Amino acid sequence: MKKKEWNEGLNHLDSELVEKYVEQKEKLRQKDKKLKGVWLRFGAIAACFLLIVSAVIVVPMLREDDSGVVTTGDNDRPNIPIINAQIPSSAPQYYGNESSSGTSGGGQMEVDPTGLSVTAKLVEALPDVYTFFDDWNQDEFRLLRMQTIKLLRGQEMVEEFYYLIPVEFSTDFSIFDRFVINNMAQFSYEQTVMYNKTQGKAEQLNLVVFGYRVYGYTLMGENLMAFDANGRFDERLWTSNAAWIAATDRASSVDTITQAERNIQNDERHQDLYVHLLKDISGEAEKVLDQIKAFDNGVYVPQFSTNVLWYSPEVQFHATKYINGFATNEKISVWCKEWTGGEQDTYAYTKARFSEEDMSRLPDLPSAFESIKGALNSGSVTPPHFNNQEKLRKTTSGIFGWYAKTENGVVGIVRVTWCFYTEKYQDYYDDAYYIIEYGSDECKSVDRDSLLELLGDYEATYIYTGEYNEYGKYSDIVYPEI
């Protein structure tokens, strides 16, 4: 049987079985929640609140910034979200390249995926704002350099680490003596690269990054508690700004650091999952670590699968190469043996591998990107397939640029996307592609098929490969019948 046949068969599974599965999953999650104890009960409220905070704070920022995302704000149409394909608008300069160590402990760490928990002291709150290169939403963070004092859950922990704080939660952390940090998940290996938005540079981090983030919002209130030098709960953290508002309702449930630590230690779920440091990777897969060494040949952004933040830490990671702040079609993946069940760690490269010669012959993508962005904002870039402006209304558009290795060298590609609605709320997408070649100061419009031909066997990452019709592309998915 072919894989596609198997998957199509599964697509026709009885709906009652899917319903049963969803209900089972829901029950398990509810059961899981109950175990968290009384002081966690208000997490949902925190989540709701933070979504509102995100909507109030982040959305206007997205609309106002110069990232190229355009919103018409048509209130008569369904507000279906569309891609916020944003990248740093100026080419970052590189610095960092510090020694890769800085971590200690080492070896294999065993943690609870829902909450590696520690008592920690603040070493330093980095002053700058950071974003992740591969986060389309461009959520902004501060980084707290923390020193582990006591491991509350899990078997091993590095002595120092960075803890991610969404900027809206940022305050003066230096006034607190100790923190109890719960529900931590490892966000990236050491040596990862983040975009230092304050300085407009890519920066390599020499410590493992931990955080707790679920696709753009956090449950910070239940994850970070502050205490004074006497070990008394210090409510000033949770009252420091509006973002903590949902946490304040729980202020009376924990009085001392001992009590907070005991609450966490009494929760003994999920003890058999693993988090790795880069140096734990071995065998053939270890070779990729030289390849992804930051700043040697561009910037690789090594990260766990984002699922680590949602369900469990996957012992695998993927590193996408970034050049001048733009993604590329070069990617490297590593699967550790604990994940695959095999005898050794494994890895895979894309066919696209940027050589030194490629790096010396890069097209001027940043300029091309800025030009297309300006043209899009002024309305002079129009969707190529959409030919009936009377019947359809544009709702949103986005822009994304990347370097792609092709059979004929590296090109810069800019993709512009549009979303439309008809009177009957039918939905259409359209997109257009532009390329710039090395040595050229012209960014040329190119049709999708020619672009795919140009890429040849190289990865056509980020390119729509389905059919177009007179409006653009339209989903031909068969929706389930009830």
Partner 1 sequence: MELQNKQTVRIPMDDDKIVELYWKRDEKAIEETDFKYKKYLFSIAYNIVHDRLDCEECLNDTYLGAWNAMPPSRPNVLKAFLTTITRRIAIKRYHNNLRQNLIPSEMTVSLSELEDFVAGDEDLGTDFDAESLGRVISDFVRSLSERRQFIFMSRYYVADPIDTIASDLSLSRSMINKELAAIRSALKEKLESEGYLI
Site for partner 1 in 198-217 (CB under 8 A): 214-215
Number of residues located near partner 1, criterion CB under 8 A: 100
Buried b (16+ CB within 10 A) or exposed e, 97-113: eeebebbeeeeebebbb
- Alpha-carbon span 89 to 92, nearest angstrom: 9
52 DSSP 8-state letter: H
Nearer to partner 1, 442 or 449 (CB): 449
Does 240 participate in binding partner 1 (rule CB under 8 A)? no
Does 88 participate in binding partner 1 (rule CB under 8 A)? no
The residue from 14, 356, 357, 390 that contacts partner 1 (CB under 8 A) is 14
CB atoms within 10 A of CB 384: 17
- Alpha-carbon span 374 to 379, nearest angstrom: 9
DSSP string covering 78-128:
-----------SSPPEEE----S----S-S-EEE-TT-EEEEEEEEEE--S
- Alpha-carbon span 71 to 80, nearest angstrom: 11
Closest CA to 198 of 220, 171, 167: 167
Does 5 participate in binding partner 1 (rule CB under 8 A)? yes
Does 445 participate in binding partner 1 (rule CB under 8 A)? no
Does 346 participate in binding partner 1 (rule CB under 8 A)? no
Nearer to partner 1, 101 or 252 (CB): 252
Does 4 participate in binding partner 1 (rule CB under 8 A)? yes
Does 241 participate in binding partner 1 (rule CB under 8 A)? no
Q: Is 332 helix (H, G, I), strand (E, B) or coil?
A: strand
Site for partner 1 in 144-203 (CB under 8 A): none
Site for partner 1 in 23-82 (CB under 8 A): 23-26, 28-29, 32, 44-45, 48-49, 51-52, 77-82
Site for partner 1 in 15-34 (CB under 8 A): 15, 17-26, 28-29, 32
Does 377 participate in binding partner 1 (rule CB under 8 A)? no
Question: H/E element holding 227?
Answer: strand 224-227
- CB of residue 358 to partner 1, shortest distance in Å: 19
The residue from 128, 156, 235, 286 that contacts partner 1 (CB under 8 A) is 235
Does 110 participate in binding partner 1 (rule CB under 8 A)? no
Site for partner 1 in 419-438 (CB under 8 A): 419, 425-427, 429
Nearer to partner 1, 85 or 414 (CB): 85
- The residue with tokens 């590329």 is 328
